[in-house]
Amino acid sequence: MDRVTVYDNGSIQLLNVGVRDAGYYFVTVTEELGTNIYGTIILNVYEIIYEDLHFVAVFFAFLTAVSAILVCFMWLCNKSVHLYQKQRRKLEERTEEIELEAIEF
């Protein structure tokens, strides 16, 4: 009863409602003349499950970290390819073409 507020117009307010409060409620309304009206109320309570939000946040952070690592790896691969090509060009510049002369017997 400490979580229920009854108003003059006949409506009620439930305070601090949780999942444990969900279910069927049988209501009896007694009018001033003494007549009773019976009714049933179905109360559905939905709450945000923070574990799901936590999972999404952790998964997003994981994907961000993996993508950052892959970008760094691609950058390193690109740099190493450029270094390899640069060294190869230097080596080609140093080599001299040797012409072989045909020796006749």
Per-residue pLDDT tens over the stretch 67-98: 999 999 999 999 999 999 998 887 777 665 55
**Residues 67 and 21 reside in one and the same domain:** no
Alpha carbon distance 63, 52 (integer Å): 16
**Residues 72 and 94 reside in one and the same domain:** yes
**Residues 35 and 17 reside in one and the same domain:** yes
pLDDT tens profile 3-15: 888 888 878 888 8
Give the residue numbers spanning the domain of 27: 4-43
**Residues 54 and 99 reside in one and the same domain:** yes
0.85 cut: is pTM over it? no
**Residues 29 and 74 reside in one and the same domain:** no
**Residues 36 and 53 reside in one and the same domain:** no
Q: What percent of the chain has pLDDT over 70?
A: 86
User: End-to-end CA distance of the chain, in Å?
Assistant: 121
Q: Which two tokens stand for residue 83?
A: 């270094």
Q: How confident is the model at residue 38 (pLDDT cuts 50, 70, 90)?
A: very high
SS3 39: strand
Enumerate the H helices of the chain as residue ranges: 50-94
Query: At residue 4, what is the residue type?
Result: V
Q: Which two tokens stand for residue 96?
A: 């001299």
**Residues 59 and 99 reside in one and the same domain:** yes
**Residues 54 and 33 reside in one and the same domain:** no
Query: At residue 66, what is the residue type?
Result: V
- CA dist 101 to 49, 81, 92, 98, 104, Å? 85, 37, 22, 9, 9
**Residues 94 and 61 reside in one and the same domain:** yes
Number of domains in the chain: 2
